């Protein structure tokens, strides 16, 4: 590999706001903006579709979603990507400020939270998931942009003219795969979901679409992303992200097919 990176990696402070001893990172802002967007979608859907949620119910939905996402994301990282390193020091599991969140774990966590909310509020579980499905791509995109700012989760070595040398990733230029994911899993998917949400659809269809499209985009971008060093490549030279995304696509396609058939 002799090509040099044409694009310089922009050195952006990962801390967005400093208020004395308090430091708010871009990654944290990504979560905050996404949950505020989800709250707005929830209140709009509640008014437009008559979900029957009180203000307290809406607050409970959002608190459950936040806890489910963060707890699931962290535990998912520990189980899927930790490679056993946390079992020797279990207290590190709670050190979320050191990084390490899994999208697939967060998905499981928020789905479990959705079950709890559905039972408590008597609102359709699939209807709640559809609201989250529209909001989720904003979080995907902002989260990947935060990964780029942090200089983490970089891509594989490349001679593409837009490749970059990432701090801590060695001297060779690499794909800015975080930006690929921000574009596909974030911007493109958000536009698609907002367009799909413009008309009434059977409960569960929007969830099916976000599972399917995210899974397809993630599997594709993983071909350009460097696998986690503690895991490397797995079965058939696939990455953990690809293996975890395949069931998403299958479930998403089946869900779309079933709700459109009315079964």
Following DSSP, what letter does each residue of 143-198 receive, concatenated? HHHHHHHHT-S-B-B---TT-B--TTS-SS-B--HHHHHIIIIIIIHHHHHHHHTT
pLDDT single digits (tens) 131-141 = 999 999 999 99
Round the average pLDDT of the chain to a whole number and report it. 90
* DSSP H helical ranges for the chain: 26-49, 55-81, 103-121, 125-150, 177-181, 189-196, 205-221, 240-261
pLDDT single digits (tens) 151-174 = 999 999 999 999 999 998 999 999
Percent of the chain with pLDDT over 90: 66
Retrieve residue 46's tokens.
Answer: 């509640």
Phi, psi of 17 (to 5 degrees): -135, 135
pLDDT of 2 reads 46
Secondary structure, 3-state, 235-250:
HHHCCHHHHHHHHHHH
Lowest mean pLDDT among 56-65, 85-94, 194-203: 85-94
Torsion-angle region of 168 (φ positive above 0: left; ψ -120 to 50: alpha; else: beta) = left
The domains of the chain are located at 15-144+171-261
Euclidean distance between CA atoms 72 and 64, whole angstroms: 11
pLDDT of 103 reads 85
Euclidean distance between CA atoms 188 and 183, whole angstroms: 6
Phi, psi of 167 (to 5 degrees): -60, 130
Q: Is the pTM of this model over 0.85?
A: yes
- In 3D space, the residue among 33, 117, 140, 134 whose CA is nearest the CA of residue 68 turns out to be 117
pLDDT of 98 reads 63
How confident is residue 5, by pLDDT bands cut at 50, 70 and 90? very low
Q: What is the mean pLDDT of residues 90-113?
A: 80
pLDDT at residue 181 greater than cutoff 70: yes
pLDDT at residue 88 greater than cutoff 50: yes
CB atoms within 10 A of CB 85: 11
Retrieve residue 236's tokens.
Answer: 């058939």
DSSP annotation of 263 reads: -
pLDDT of 83 reads 61
Using DSSP, state whether 225 is helix, strand or coil.
Answer: strand
More confident residue, 25 or 181: 181
pLDDT at residue 108 greater than cutoff 70: yes
Which positions ≥6 away from 89 have C-beta within 8 Å? none
pLDDT of 1 reads 46
120 in Cβ contact with 56 (< 8 Å): no
Report the DSSP beta bridge partners of residue 155. 225
221 in Cβ contact with 186 (< 8 Å): no
């Amino acid at each position: 590999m002799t090509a040099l990176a044409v694009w310089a990696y922009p050195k952006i402070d990962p801390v967005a706001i400093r208020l004395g001893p308090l430091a708010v990172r871009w990654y944290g802002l990504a979560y905050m903006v996404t949950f505020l967007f989800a709250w707005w979608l929830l209140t709009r859907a509640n008014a437009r579709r008559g979900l029957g949620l009180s203000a307290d119910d809406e607050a409970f939905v959002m608190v459950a979603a936040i806890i489910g996402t963060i707890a699931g994301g962290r535990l998912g990282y520990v189980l899927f990507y930790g490679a056993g390193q946390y079992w020797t020091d279990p207290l590190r599991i709670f050190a979320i400020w050191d990084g390490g969140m899994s999208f697939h774990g967060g998905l499981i966590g928020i789905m479990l939270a959705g079950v709890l909310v559905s039972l408590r509020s008597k609102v359709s579980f699939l209807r709640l998931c559809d609201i989250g499905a529209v909001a989720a791509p904003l979080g995907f995109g902002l989260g990947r942009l935060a990964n780029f700012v942090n200089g983490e989760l970089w891509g594989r070595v490349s001679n593409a003219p837009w490749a970059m040398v990432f701090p801590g990733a060695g001297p060779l230029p690499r794909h800015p795969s975080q930006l690929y994911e921000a574009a596909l899993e974030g911007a493109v998917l958000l536009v698609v979901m907002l367009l799909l949400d413009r008309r009434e659809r059977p409960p569960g269809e929007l969830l099916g679409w976000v599972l399917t499209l995210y899974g397809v985009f993630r599997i594709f971008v993983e071909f350009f992303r460097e696998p986690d060093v503690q895991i490397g490549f797995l079965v058939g030279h696939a990455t953990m992200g690809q293996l975890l995304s395949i069931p998403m696509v299958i479930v998403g396609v089946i869900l779309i097919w079933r709700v459109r058939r009315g079964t």
